[in-house]
Amino acid sequence: MAREVEWARMTAPELREIAARGNALAILPVGSLEQHGPHLPVITDTASAVAVAVRAAQLVNESVPLAVLPGLWLGMSEHHLPFGGTITADYATYHAMLRSVTRSLKAIGFKRLLIVNGHGGNMDPLAVATRELAVEFDMPIVATTPWFLAAEETAALFEADDGPKHACEGEASVMLAIAGDCVKTDKFKDAEAIPAGQNEAPYGASRFYSFSERAPTTGTWGFPSKGTAEKGEKFLALQAREVAKFITSDILWTRPDPVWRAGRGLETTAGRAD
């Protein structure tokens, strides 16, 4: 019988045993609660992140002490507010939630944290939060967005879209694989009715765009009608494989340099610079 990997399905003594095994890893799937067009449920990003995290954990569970936390459904999705159905955090709140999770993990004996992200709007906030929290809590923290791993293999699975977008062929496929009863396939063509992706800042520039500017009317960017459950299983298997590689990587889990320690500026990596 395979070992349990989901935190929420375990007892506190079981989780203490995992933490006590040394170098224990907590995996936090993060996503959002936001509009995904007329055809996909608002929990899509969180559901996909949970599915990948659990599958990746199952691939390495026999050799790595780990547990997959419940998915964090509150992300940074203010750009989706115009379509309704969206609940969002601001950055201060998002950072505070991640800090509270990290602080708790440190207190109960977990040594590492892997954040598996399913929402594009979380990528920049996670990049900042993980580097700050890693140093603050002296804990290796890694964040990854599986849709952007193994880029060539991922791209080859798409039939119509040229890569992951929003409520697209890829997300429709994954949701058909893991929660097909929540997918409204009869709305696929309605979702594709208005062309999307027209408003993009020039390369090298960064600014805020509401998703109503990127995907007017439908809130969809891509071709969900090309999604299939079979394709979804392929996406999930590929993403789980790549995340499992991160779990077992040596270079990702080195101790964070204590850059804020008093006098750290008088030293080099090798030692004190006299």
The order of strands in the sheet holding 141-144 is: 66-68, 25-30, 112-117, 141-144
Q: Are 86 and 35 in contact (CB under 8 A)?
A: yes
Residues of the chain with pLDDT under 70: 1, 197-198, 270-274
Q: How far is CA 193 from CA 55, 88, 221, 246, in A?
A: 34, 27, 10, 39
- Please state, in angstroms and rounded to a whole number, the distance separating the CA atoms of residues 142 and 46: 18
Those residues whose C-beta lies under 8 Å from the C-beta of residue 216, and which sit 6 or more positions away, are: 194, 196
Q: Which residues contact 255 (CB under 8 A, 6 or more apart)?
A: 138, 140
| Domains of the chain with bracketed CATH | 7-257 (3.40.50.10310)
Q: Give residue-wise pLDDT tens across range 4-33.
A: 999 999 999 999 999 999 899 999 999 999
pLDDT for position 274 = 46
Q: Are 112 and 26 in contact (CB under 8 A)?
A: yes
Question: DSSP letters along 129-189, please?
Answer: HHHHHHHHHT--EEEE-GGGSSHHHHHHH-SSSSS--BSSHHHHHHHHHHHGGG--GGGHH
- Number of Cβ atoms within 10 Å of the Cβ of 231: 20
Query: What are the Cα distances from residue 20, in Å, to 54, 65, 109?
Result: 21, 9, 7
pLDDT in tens, 70-112: 999 999 999 999 999 999 999 999 999 999 999 999 999 999 9
